[in-house]
Structure 1
């Protein structure tokens, strides 16, 4: 039996008849004693956060919940719901669109911030060099700029909160310094490129010690709430098989003109 019991060995959950323990804590003790952000931290990190750390994590989970059907993931979830799929399938459809291009900027920004902090250079010089390298290859610096908002309204409350956390000693502030240095360099161009939600949440996740891969997972976790809400709303609407365009609009055709088959 030892080989079978070790097949899915885990340090996360200990389940037996009448007993559920998560990271060693009995579920009946956790219920009513810890918040959802604390539970997320416990499950992904193995320990309970401080109240201040949990409050920062909660801010990120609230901020990234939804961005309307302008977001392809939300539109896809709604289309799936209009095709009669159950809520879990509609949500999964939206989640599966969250990859490197749509949904991956937070993880990518965390990796950038880590590289700046670990570079051994003054953070301002490192940020200047990084932006120059991105410009040279025509790439976007992840976590900055937004296709919809001239200035992302979620940036300021998140960055204010992390600045206060630095001031009270909850976090060190090295990644805040790196993020603000990047923003300062990007503000000096022909068109200023302010930080967006991905940059702000990446800063908080780095300061809290999350791995970049978990940063993406936390974004997916947050956005799933929006996907659920939109899928449910669409589920309760009468329109069926709702595609990306209304029936009155046809995509522009760019192929050959009408022709006769030889």
Structure 2
């Protein structure tokens, strides 16, 4: 390939297209457009929940979709100091009194063991797909899936809570609203079959579907991808984190550490010189 001296070859030169394309938003001299809509019309014209749906899914939501997403965004507002992300955020704030740093810490604590619905979403989608191609009943497929997970010592995502038994009240409320608004679909229903089968096989029928698991089921039925469900879950918890960061900053207690009486330290005392010689120095 020849090129003028000193000119770099761009991606467009190579593949005949621009390096990035985006339909999320665009800005010109006088207008900001969100998914093609003038932002000035959206300001005051739709709720934050509706605008969130528009941005993520790419189309204006129906009133029912907006109410459902609003309920989901309210379901995990806060969980006191029992949420690792909140504790991490407050520790960071005590050392670096900066809201952005605290929020970043809270977001980085989201994952497989807390707040992220994506594993449940994938499990629900894949399990239902398996049912769809099977010639067996839902009960038979559920028995097989749960047996496989148990034999391989894998945890079924979306089940269990350290406090709530039998029913997670937040999850139950989400389900009730989803049923009322028409967002309780076949994937969610089959997941309930799996949940019941898990209780039957393990004898632990007191283990509930948790709030994050229920969020995953309903968001999947609304058309959100598994990865998007975690983004929505993070968004839902940020107001609570902001409140905790403000409280931490106003407490006037800098540099929090784990209290000494909460830690058991190894009492060993080692001889550095002797060990150094023994190591061949």
- TM-score normalised by the chain length of structure 2: 0.84
After TM superposition, what 4+ stretches of structure 1 lie above 4 angstroms from structure 2?
Answer: 1-5
Aligned 8 A contact 1:113 1:175 in 2: yes
Q: Is the counterpart of residue 213 in structure 1 residue 224 in structure 2?
A: no
Q: 2:46 corresponds to which residue?
A: 34
Aligned partners of 1:157, 1:172: CA distance in 2, in Å? 12
Task: Specify every segment of 5 or more residues in structure 2 that has no aligned partner in the other structure, as ranges.
Answer: 1-9, 275-281
Task: Write out aligned runs for 1:75-86 (5 A).
Answer: 75-86=87-98
Aligned partners of 2:262, 2:65: CA distance in 1, in Å? 50
Task: Specify every segment of 5 or more residues in structure 1 that has no aligned partner in the other structure, as ranges.
Answer: none
- TM-score normalised by the chain length of structure 1: 0.90
Aligned partners of 1:259, 1:11: CA distance in 2, in Å? 62
Partner of 2:50: helix, strand, or coil? helix
Aligned 8 A contact 1:145 1:195 in 2: yes
Return the offset for 1:2.
11
Q: Is the counterpart of residue 158 in structure 1 residue 170 in structure 2?
A: no
Aligned partners of 2:60, 2:11: CA distance in 1, in Å? 31
Aligned partners of 2:52, 2:262: CA distance in 1, in Å? 44
Aligned 8 A contact 1:116 1:123 in 2: no
Q: 1:183 corresponds to which residue?
A: 195
Please identify the structure whose Cα radius of gyration is greater.
Answer: 2
Q: Deviations over 1:164-198 (max 9, x none)?
A: 233xxxx4621221121122112323222211012
Task: Write out aligned runs for 1:1-262 (5 A).
Answer: 6-104=18-116, 106-119=117-130, 120=132, 121=134, 122-150=137-165, 151-166=167-182, 171=183, 173-188=185-200, 189-192=202-205, 193-243=207-257, 245-246=258-259, 248-254=260-266, 257-261=268-272, 262=274
Aligned partners of 1:131, 1:85: CA distance in 2, in Å? 47
Partner of 2:261: helix, strand, or coil? coil
Of structures 1 and 2, the one scoring higher in RCO (CA 8 A, sep 6+) is: 1
Partner of 2:80: helix, strand, or coil? coil
Aligned partners of 2:178, 2:94: CA distance in 1, in Å? 40
Aligned 8 A contact 1:163 1:176 in 2: no
Structure 1 residues 140 and 40, CA gap change in structure 2 (3 angstroms): same
Query: Greater shift after overlay, 37-46 or 172-181?
Result: 172-181
Aligned 8 A contact 1:84 1:235 in 2: no
Aligned partners of 2:271, 2:22: CA distance in 1, in Å? 65
Aligned partners of 1:116, 1:165: CA distance in 2, in Å? 24
Return the offset for 1:215.
0.5
Return the offset for 1:45.
1.1
Aligned 8 A contact 2:184 2:218 in 1: no
